[in-house]
Structure 1
Amino acid sequence: MGTQPEIAALSFEEALKALEDVVRRLESGEAPLDESIELYARGDALRAHCQSRLDAAQARIEAIVADRDGRPVGVKPFDDAAGPA
């Protein structure tokens, strides 16, 4: 497992694919116990990395909500920024 790229360098899509591979390998039941433990630890790190990337993306797409005078008073999710569909 030492040849796998560092998790921090992976894009969201690469990390998600790697996580799916880990899950598939664990679910197959073919990995020995020590490898299963390493796979589980890597899977947890990949999950955390994916969540971090999603959180960062959400923060970037939030819209600033302004009051009548144009002062920022909060944020609203990107989904609400466009108004009703």
Structure 2
Amino acid sequence: MTFEENLKKLEEIVEKMDSKDTSLDEGLKLFDRGVSIAGECMKKLEESSGKVSELTLQLDKLRVKEDTNGEN
């Protein structure tokens, strides 16, 4: 699932858990699933953050190279 799909699923889980009709056992199952999905979201965010850092570093290197070439 995509990050956005996972967020939507988490929203649905929270709504179900808030329902008075949800039993304790069902609530625990939903909570377990929610923790799993939240972990997937965190992993995706960490991967995305790493990619942004990598791209920012590449951009900084290009700027330094352009500045160096411009001084010659």
Please, what TM-score do these two structures have when normalized by structure 2? 0.72
Measured on the aligned residues, the alpha-carbon RMSD in Å equals 1.6
Instruction: Render the CA deviation track for 1:43-64: whole Å, top value 9, x for unaligned.
Output: 1111111111111111111122
Instruction: Give the length in aligned residue pairs.
Output: 59
Higher RCO structure, 1 or 2 (CA under 8 Å, sep 6+): 2
Higher strand share: 1
Please, what TM-score do these two structures have when normalized by structure 1? 0.62
- Please state if 1:25 is matched with 2:25: no
Higher helix share: 2
Gaps in structure 1 of 5+ consecutive residues: 1-9, 71-85
Extract structure 1 runs of 4+ deviating beyond 3 A.
none
Aligned partner of residue 21 in structure 2, secondary structure: coil
Please say which structure displays the higher CA radius of gyration: 2
- The one of 29, 34, 38 aligned to 1:38: 29
